Amino acid sequence: MGESRRSGTGASLAHLTNQAILQTLPRTVNTGVGAAFILTALAVLGGEALGDFALALLVGLVVGTYSSIFTAAPMAPRTGGTHLLAPFTQVICASCAILAFMTRRLAEVAKKVGVSEATVSRVLNNKPGVSQATRQAVLSALDVLGYERPTQLRGERARLVGLVLPELQNPIFPAFAEVIGGALAQLGLTPVLCTQTKGGVSEADYVTLLLQQQVSGVVFAGGLYAQADAPHDHYRLLADRNIPVVLVNAAIEHLGFPGVSCDDAVAVEQAWRHLASLGHERIGLVLGPGDHVPSARKLAAARAIAGGELPDEFVARAMFSIEGGHAATAKLIDRGVTGFVCASDPLALGAVRAARRKGLDVPSQISVVGYDDSALMNCTEPPLTTVRQPIESMGKAAVELLNARIGGSAVAADELLFEPELVVRGSTAQAPRP
């Protein structure tokens, strides 16, 4: 009996011990595995958006809890392993949710850059074996997609570059954006396109947004810097913050930024001499607003070439649009002008339309020369004679200047002038005989 009583006591003690272990082990395993997984997840994520991480974890735990309700039914003590299933289910569900979250992040960044997810993971964990260009491209993709950089890499300024355009309707600006954007990408820099719209976000507002994104620099391809009477405080703000800036085409003086420009004087000289060689004596100009710096340069060049034979009534100003060109050209046709030098291709297309509305033929009665040689100008009727801006050379030079400034090199606040090219097509011909 004593032995039997001792055996019973031993069995009861073993049973109590097993129960204690079974009650404690799930918490231990749950806490240990959960903590280990969270640490691993944080390491892979590199400190990215913890709000999203917490959401993924919460979804997993909720799913696990609901699952445990159905799997943890009351059972005999010897089947205590069933009680262990609930916390394991929670951990597994949480793990699956977080893994799905991390995989989506990696896949999205990898697709954006065009590399493998393993490469993205190496960059996020600051591991070797990745080229500097690829590393910068991955970090730029994180910035563009709105993900936070890994903690150990947040000391670097974002490899974003603002690309500010005044509009997209004029084909010359999308052309500049394509060249500049491609050149930036080759350097591991990601362009952030900022396009102004009437009544929409202003240029100054875009500058504020870009500063909030901690951009590495800004390229302006046309904008208020070319208008003397426009506000320029946002440019000075960039200068005060020591943000690298490059301007494309003529700007007002004293802004202190380097720039690349097509030589307006040479462009007007080429167009003017072409019309003069065709016998046109009454040559007029269709320019932009009076405070527009490139238009002012074109006017000064035309007066120098004409030698004082360019009356004010042969100069018309308009907004840079087909409608503006139409209205301005109609006035000059009434004043006897037969050859037109226009400050943009849309203005030139407006000039052609104005001539036709007056029953005049282009080019037998009216000759028109545009400026830019933007897309599809060889497909108009007639194909437009125009002065071509060297967009490729100018865009790449602008990026080189900006990259030098970003790298800390001293860049003089000079203007690099590029030679334009006259492209003769079907909108110019011999002047009509009296």
Q: What is the DSSP letter of 367?
A: E
pLDDT at 153 over 90: no
pLDDT at 2 over 80: no
Q: CATH 3.40.50.2300 residue ranges in the chain?
A: 160-257, 264-391+416-423
Residue found under tokens 């065009």:
114
What pLDDT was estimated at residue 16?
A: 45
How distant, in Å, are the alpha carbons of 214, 388, 395, 399 from that of 182? 21, 20, 9, 10
pLDDT at 382 over 70: yes
> Hey, what CATH class is 160-257 in?
alpha beta
Most confident option among 18-22, 65-69, 72-76, 152-156: 152-156
Q: What is the DSSP letter of 86?
A: H
Question: How many Å apart are CA 314 and CA 272, to the nearest integer?
Answer: 13
Residue 161 dihedral angles phi and psi, to the nearest 5°? -130, 125
Question: How many Å apart are CA 384 and CA 255, to the nearest integer?
Answer: 35
State pLDDT tens for residues 227-272.
Answer: 999 999 999 999 999 999 999 998 888 899 999 999 999 999 999 9
Kindly indicate the confidence band of residue 135, based on its pLDDT and cuts at 50, 70 and 90.
confident
State pLDDT tens for residues 392-421.
Answer: 999 999 999 999 999 999 999 999 999 999
Q: Coil, strand or helix: which one is 339?
A: strand
What pLDDT was estimated at residue 145?
A: 75
End-to-end CA distance of the chain: 141
What pLDDT was estimated at residue 113?
A: 86
Residue 88 dihedral angles phi and psi, to the nearest 5°? -60, -40
What pLDDT was estimated at residue 152?
A: 60
Most confident option among 8-22, 80-94, 146-160, 351-365: 351-365
Q: Which of 159, 134, 139 is nearest to 214 (CA)?
A: 159
pLDDT at 40 over 80: no
Name the least confident of 89-98, 106-115, 140-149, 322-331. 89-98
pLDDT at 376 over 60: yes
Prior bond of 77 cis (ω within 30°): no
Was domain 264-391+416-423 assigned CATH 3.40.50.2300? yes
Question: How many Å apart are CA 104 and CA 405, to the nearest integer?
Answer: 36
**Per-residue pLDDT averaged across 139-143, rounded?**
76
Residue 165 has which token pair? 């355009």
Residue 390, CB-side half-sphere exposure with 13 Å CA sphere: 18
> 423 pairs with which residues across the strands?
386
pLDDT at 369 over 90: yes
**Per-residue pLDDT averaged across 347-370, rounded?**
98
Kindly indicate the confidence band of residue 289, based on its pLDDT and cuts at 50, 70 and 90.
very high
Question: How many Å apart are CA 246 and CA 222, to the nearest integer?
Answer: 11
Q: What is the DSSP letter of 105?
A: H
